[in-house]
């Protein structure tokens, strides 16, 4: 009987100690993606073409998240904006031109390329970046 009581006390102390250790506050200061928003970022949109010097239209998300249109832009085209984004916001751009045009779209966030796509022999195209 004495041995069972001793084992029960040791078991209780062990379980209680593990419970206290596992439930203490985490001191990790690593900010994951959900803790990083809202945040201010620099977004740069770039449009290039090896064969064309202009397009009919370029659209992009502006500083407020709305859409800005540039008609008859000359290429290469580049536009930088500063915007406060939340998780799952998007930065997007698109173009309209002649059907046989080759166009490359790029999106940079804080000077790091996050999206790129080349459109071959098409008149329109779009590119979207989702903030994770």
pLDDT in tens, 31-60: 455 458 999 999 999 999 998 899 999 999
Which band of pLDDT confidence, cut at 50, 70 and 90, is reported for residue 25?
low
Q: What percent of the chain has pLDDT over 70?
A: 73
Beta bridge partners of 46: 78, 106
Say which residue the tokens 């290469």 belong to: 76
In a domain, 58, yes or no: yes
> Given this model, what pLDDT does residue 18 score?
43
Give the contacts of 113 (CB within 8 A, at least 6 positions apart): 106, 107
Beta bridge partners of 103: 119
Domain count for the chain, please give it: 1
**CATH number of the domain to which 42 belongs:** 2.60.40.2880
In a domain, 29, yes or no: no
In a domain, 28, yes or no: no
> Given this model, what pLDDT does residue 11 score?
46
8 Å CB contact between 104 and 49: yes
> Given this model, what pLDDT does residue 101 score?
87
> Given this model, what pLDDT does residue 2 score?
61
Mean pLDDT of the chain: 83
Report the predicted TM-score, pTM, of the whole model to 2 decimal places: 0.73
Which has more confidence, 98 or 78? Answer: 78
In a domain, 8, yes or no: no
In a domain, 26, yes or no: no
In a domain, 113, yes or no: yes
> Given this model, what pLDDT does residue 93 score?
98
At 6, give phi and psi (nearest 5°): -65, -45
Type and span of the H or E element at 13: helix 2-23
Say which residue the tokens 């977004």 belong to: 43
Which has more confidence, 30 or 48? Answer: 48
> Given this model, what pLDDT does residue 84 score?
97
In a domain, 7, yes or no: no
Q: Which domain holds residue 59?
A: 36-130
Is residue 67 over pLDDT 50?
yes
Helix, strand, or coil (residue 5): helix
In a domain, 118, yes or no: yes
């Amino acid at each position: 009987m004495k041995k069972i009581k001793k084992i029960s006390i040791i078991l209780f102390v062990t379980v209680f100690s593990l419970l206290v250790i596992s439930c203490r506050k985490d001191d990790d200061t690593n900010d994951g993606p959900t803790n990083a928003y809202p945040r201010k970022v620099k977004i740069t949109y770039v449009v290039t073409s090896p064969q064309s010097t202009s397009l009919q239209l370029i659209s992009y998300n502006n500083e407020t998240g709305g859409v800005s249109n540039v008609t008859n832009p000359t290429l290469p085209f580049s536009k930088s904006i500063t915007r406060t984004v939340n998780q799952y916001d998007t930065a997007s751009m698109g173009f309209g031109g002649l059907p046989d045009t080759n166009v490359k779209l790029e999106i940079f966030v804080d000077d790091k390329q996050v999206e790129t796509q080349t459109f071959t022999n098409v008149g329109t195209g779009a590119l979207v970046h989702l903030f994770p």
